Amino acid sequence: MANNFKKATVKEGARTELHDLINLTGAEISVNSLPAGAGVPFVHSHKQNEEIYAILEGEGKAIIDGQDVPLSAGDWLRISPAAKRQFFASDKCGIKYICIQVKANSLENYTASDAEIY
């Protein structure tokens, strides 16, 4: 019988992409860490994917379409595909976050409307 799940453990590191690690088919998820004073070395946008960020630890900022957006543990952030973005840790501490990429406007059902109760 085939397993209907895949489990993996994420080790500490700058970036771990889960797509191949746990065989994702509808999203890309990455776990990211930036040390104090560091930043992602490029500005980027996407063709189709919106991104959802969960700030797990620390603080920093995102620059989104030229606007500074402060970030700290507990914050969630959704960014449209076309927005130009770049992320930075604060000068005093690092930041750890999860990024979830999904195709914009693809969600048809969620929570109870997609569940089957047994």
- The domain that holds 30 is classified in CATH as 2.60.120.10
- In this prediction, residue 110 carries a pLDDT of 86
Cβ pair 88, 32 in contact under 8 A:
no
Cβ pair 49, 102 in contact under 8 A:
yes
- What's the domain count of the chain? 1
- Structure tokens given for 25: 């088919």
**111 in any annotated domain:** no
Model confidence pLDDT, tens digit, residues 97-106: 999 999 999 9
- In this prediction, residue 113 carries a pLDDT of 87
Return the bridge partners of 89, or none.
60
**109 in any annotated domain:** no
Model confidence pLDDT, tens digit, residues 41-91: 999 999 999 999 999 999 999 999 999 999 999 999 999 999 999 999 999
Cα distance between residue 86 and residue 51, in whole Å: 12
Neighbours of 26 (CB within 10 A): 8
Cβ pair 21, 93 in contact under 8 A:
no
Q: Which domain holds residue 84?
A: 15-104
**80 in any annotated domain:** yes
**7 in any annotated domain:** no
Model confidence pLDDT, tens digit, residues 8-53: 999 888 999 999 999 999 999 999 999 999 999 999 999 999 999 9
